Copies of this chain bind each other. A is one copy, B any other.
Amino acid sequence: MDHQAKGTRKGTGGGKGNDVKADLIAVVVAVTKGEPRVLTIGQASALPSGPFELDHRSLQSGLRAWVERQTSHPLGYIEQLYTFADRDRIGDELQRVISISYLGLTREDQTERSPTHGWHGWYDYFPWEDHRSGIPAIVPEILMPQLQAWAEDADDPDMHHDRWQRATIAFGLDERDWNEELVLQRYELLHEAALVAEAKHSGNTGSALSIPGRPMTADHRRILATGIGRLRTKIKYRPVVFELMPATFTLLQLQRTVEALAGRLVHKPNFRRLVEQQDLVEGTGETMSDTGGRPAKLFRFRQTVLAERTVAGTKLPLSRA
C-alpha cells in the first residue's frame, strides 16, 4: 500500500516489511596478569549487546551505552568489526536482526566484581589458540584426527582434498607454520566440521564429548573469534597495545601482553630492539624491583605516537618459538 516514495528511495521503500532490528555487540578485551580476557555477561556465555535505539547518537555511542549499562565498565578505544545478518539470528518472528559488532580495548578494573558481568580468559573459548607453551595437546590429539575424519567423510575426492587442505592451512600442518591470525578461519572450519557445540544442526556424530572450548550463545563465539583475529593482526602494524597497558610498565610486561594476545612467544632482545628503535616508548627514569633479578626500567608510551596512531607503523616481531 505504500510504495512510490518520491525521489528519496527507489524500489521497495517505505514499507515496514523490510525493516530490521539492529543489535550492537561488543568484544571488550583486557589483559590481566598476562592473560587476555574478554568481558561477558550471563553465565560467561554471552557478549555485552543490545539494540541500536533511536536516541543513540551513533553506533559507537550506542555500543558504549550498552556496555556501560550491562557491565558498568567504561570503554576506551573501540573499532568496528563486522556486520552480520544470518538466518539463524532470526527468532520466531519474521523480522530480521542485524548484528553490528565492535572491538573494544580497556584495562580490567581489578577492584569491583559484579554478578551481572565477568571477565574470562579468551583461551577458555579457544583452547587451540594458545601456542605460548608450544602446540596445545588438543590440536594433534583431538582436532586433527577429527578434522581428518571429517575430510574423509566428504562426498567426492575433490571435496575431501579441499577440506583437508583448508585444515592444513588453518592449523599450519606439514611445512607450513602456525599463523596466529587465522582465528576466524579455524573456528569456522571447526564449526563446519561440527566440532564445536554451536554447530548442532544435522546429525551430531556422537563426538559430543570431545567438543573443545567453552561455547557461547548464538554466534557470539564467532564474533569473539573475529575480534581476536583482528586484534592479532592489528598489533603488528598499529600501536594499539597501549590501550591495554597501565601508565608505566617494564619492557617485559609489554612483551608478555603482546605474547598473550598473539598466543605465541617472541624473542626478547629482538622485541626490545624493535620497540626502542621505533621510539614507541620513553623511560620514566624509575625502575621496578620485580620478582627476583635485576630491576627493570619503567617506560611509558610517547605522546607523539598516540597522536600519529592512525599512521604509525608499529612492527612488533612475532617470531616462532
Contacts and interface: CB of A to CB of B under 8 A. Distances in A.
Number of copies: 2
Interface stretch (A79-87, A134-142, A243-251, A294-302): A79-87
B17 A54 contact: yes
A11 B179 contact: no
A298 B69 CA distance: 61
Contacts of A20: 19-22, 52
Contacts of A80: 82-83
B87 A59 contact: no
Interface stretch (A106-114, A285-293, A304-312): A304-312
Interface in A45-59: 50-54, 57-59
A8 B18 contact: no
Contact of A182 (B17, B52, B57, B311): B311
Nearest to A23: B9
B10 A19 contact: no
Interface residues of A, number: 54
B19 A12 contact: yes
B85 A52 contact: yes
- The secondary-structure label for the interface of chain A is loop
Interface in A110-161: none
A50 B10 contact: yes
Interface in A264-321: 307-308, 310-311
Given A19-B15, A98-B98, A182-B310, A9 B51 contact: yes
Contacts of A211: none
Given A3-B2, A83-B59, A52 B18 contact: yes
A169 B53 contact: no
Given A18-B54, A19-B20, A179 B311 contact: yes
